[in-house]
Amino acid sequence: MKNVLVTGGTGLLGREVVDQLIALNYEVTVLSSKKNSSVPDGVQLIKGDLASNSGLIEATENADIIIHCASNPKDTRSVDIKGTQNLLGAINRNKTLHFIYISIINVDKSNYEYYQTKIKVEQMIAASGIPFSVLRTTQFHNYVLTILKTFDKKDGVIAIPDGMHFQSIEVKEAATLLVDMAQREPVGLVRGIGGPELLRFEEMAKTYLNVLNRNDELKIKPIRNEEYDRYRSENNIWPTNSYGNITWEAFLRHNFVS
C-alpha cells in the first residue's frame, strides 16, 4: 500500500486526514515538531521541524504522496514559507508523485497577511515541478465557532457584527476531500469548495444559542474591522461548489450535546 506523509498530522485537520487514510489501509507517516506527540497505532511518527529543516529527509524518503497540512499563522515566514521550501527541497523526487496542499478560497483576493502567505506557498508548490493538487476550501465550522465565542462573554447578551456570512465546512469533510485527492491523479489548483449551507452569522449565532439551550439576547452591531469586512464580502463563500452533509447545526449538536 502507498505511503502518505501528513505534515500537520497532529493538528485539527491533519488528525482527520490520518484517521481516514488509516481506514483506507494506507501506510501513514506524521511529521511533528513536538516532543511528545501521539499518533494512532500503526502510524510512523517522525520528530522534525519544517522551520529548522530537521527530520524532513527522514519524513519524506518513503512518501508516495504528501498531504501538507502544517501551518503556523503566528510564524508564517518560518513555518509556512521557509518550511514549505524546506519540505519541497527534501522530497525524494523518484518516490513522491503527488503533493497535496490545503489552502483557503479567494486567498488571491485579499491583502490579509496569512492569505498572502497561502498564495506564496501555492506558488512555490506549482513551481516545484512536483505533480500537485491544491484544495482551497471555505472556513471550517470550528473556525467560525472560535469567532463566535469571542463575542460570547456569557453575561446574557451576545453582540455580533452585522452583515457577515459563512459557508463553513466540517473539518472531517475537508479531510475527506484531501483523502479523495490522494486516491486520484494530481489535478493542480481546485479554486473553491465550500460547505453545505450559506448562512448569515446572525442565524449561526441563533442556532448556537438554541443548541446550548440559552436565552441570551442577540444584538447586531455595525462593528467595522478588516477581518469582519472579509466575512461580509463575497470572498469567503463559494456557492457554486458546495460539499458535505454536516451542517452548522449538526456540528454544534455533535460538539455540545453528544
Q: Point out which residues bind ligand NAP (CB under 6 A).
A: 7-8, 10-14, 31-34, 37, 49-51, 69-72, 79, 83, 102, 104, 137, 139-140, 143
Quick one: CA torsion of 162, 114, 153, 236, rounded to 10 degrees?
A: 30
Sequence-distant (6+) residues with CB within 8 A of 211 are: 249, 252, 253, 256, 257
**69 burial type by CB count under 10 A (0-12 exposed, 13-18 middle, 19+ buried):** buried
- The rounded distance, in Å, linking the Cα atoms of 138 and 29 is 27
Least distance from ligand NAP to the Cβ atom of residue 183, Å: 20
Nearest to 87 by CA among 113, 63, 114: 63
Judged by beta carbon, residue 72 or residue 233, the one nearer ligand NAP is 72
Q: Taking a C-beta distance cutoff of 8 angstroms, is the pair 27, 63 a contact?
A: no
Judged by beta carbon, residue 29 or residue 33, the one nearer ligand NAP is 33
Judged by beta carbon, residue 74 or residue 154, the one nearer ligand NAP is 74
Least distance from ligand NAP to the Cβ atom of residue 10, Å: 4
Least distance from ligand NAP to the Cβ atom of residue 201, Å: 15
- Which residue is at the shortest CB distance from ligand NAP? 11
Least distance from ligand NAP to the Cβ atom of residue 219, Å: 25
Q: At residue 73, what are phi and psi to the nearest 5 degrees?
A: -55, -20
Judged by beta carbon, residue 83 or residue 161, the one nearer ligand NAP is 83
Judged by beta carbon, residue 96 or residue 138, the one nearer ligand NAP is 138
Judged by beta carbon, residue 13 or residue 252, the one nearer ligand NAP is 13
Least distance from ligand NAP to the Cβ atom of residue 221, Å: 24
Least distance from ligand NAP to the Cβ atom of residue 187, Å: 17
Q: Taking a C-beta distance cutoff of 8 angstroms, is the pair 31, 57 a contact?
A: no
